[in-house]
């Protein structure tokens, strides 16, 4: 049985990182995007990265960052993975990947089958695609889900993950519908925007593991 990987995104405290590690998460996401309620400065992200145990891979999330900020973020935080959540192009992603020697994940808002087909343009550039709800006022972390049936029958050419409006109550339904190799949660484990709830983190991870055991 393959274990579904879990990413808890938008962490900003040591307590939430400890909770993610204790619950068996595989990745945590640190958001550097001032418009987000989950924003952390690069220096704070570096502190959290240093605090995180080796069991967690650190994903640093940027949105339409220019080359200077991108380089600074990589140098200061030293993430295991860089995630882009804006309108970044495949060429830009491939350039950063080659220059930084880092895996690059790209989040894509999934509107319909046509959007899904166009995602193939990231083949050879992105290490993983994260299918999320289409962007609104913020590019992610809005608690909005998309129509999971869009993914039905799709032959994925690039490793991928499922995001957008996931929580402990709907994750089994989401996984049944899409069979994702990775699930990514942010607002679904919060008590308020940007405020992670350690009990909800534990419940989400347990729900994923329970699904894995019963499928």
> How confident is the model over 41-98, as pLDDT tens digits?
999 999 999 999 999 999 999 999 999 999 999 999 999 999 999 999 999 999 999 9
Spell out the residues 6+ positions from residue 35 whose beta carbon is closer than 8 angstroms to its own: 63, 138
Long-range contacts of 43-51 (CB under 8 A, 24+ apart): 43/76, 44/12, 45/73, 45/76, 45/77, 46/76, 46/77, 46/78, 48/11, 48/12, 48/13, 48/14, 48/17, 49/77, 49/78, 49/79, 51/14, 51/17
* pLDDT over 80 (residue 142): no
The domain total for the chain is 1
pLDDT tens digits, 170-192: 999 999 999 999 999 999 999 99
CATH number assigned to the domain comprising residue 82: 3.20.20.70
User: Range of 12's domain?
Assistant: 5-214
């Amino acid at each position: 049985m393959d274990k579904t990987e879990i990413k808890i995104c938008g962490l900003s405290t040591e307590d939430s990182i400890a909770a993610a590690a204790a619950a068996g998460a595989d990745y945590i996401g640190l958001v550097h995007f001032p418009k987000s309620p989950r924003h952390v400065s690069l220096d704070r992200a570096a502190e959290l990265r240093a605090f995180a145990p080796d069991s967690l891979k650190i994903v640093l999330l940027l949105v339409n960052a220019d080359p200077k900020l991108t380089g600074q973020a990589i140098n200061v935080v030293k993430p295991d993975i860089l995630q882009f959540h804006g309108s970044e192009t495949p060429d830009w992603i491939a350039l950063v990947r080659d220059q930084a020697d880092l895996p690059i994940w790209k989040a894509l808002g999934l509107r319909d089958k046509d959007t899904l087909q166009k995602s193939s343009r990231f083949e050879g550039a992105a290490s993983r695609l994260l299918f999320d709800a289409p962007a609104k006022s913020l590019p992610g972390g809005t608690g909005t889900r998309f129509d999971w049936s869009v993914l039905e029958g799709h032959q994925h050419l690039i490793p991928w993950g499922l995001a957008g409006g996931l929580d402990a109550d709907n994750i089994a339904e989401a996984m049944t519908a899409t069979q994702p190799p990775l699930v990514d949660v942010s607002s679904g484990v919060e008590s308020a925007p940007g405020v992670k709830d350690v009990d909800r983190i534990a419940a989400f991870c347990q729900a994923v593991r329970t699904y894995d055991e019963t499928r």
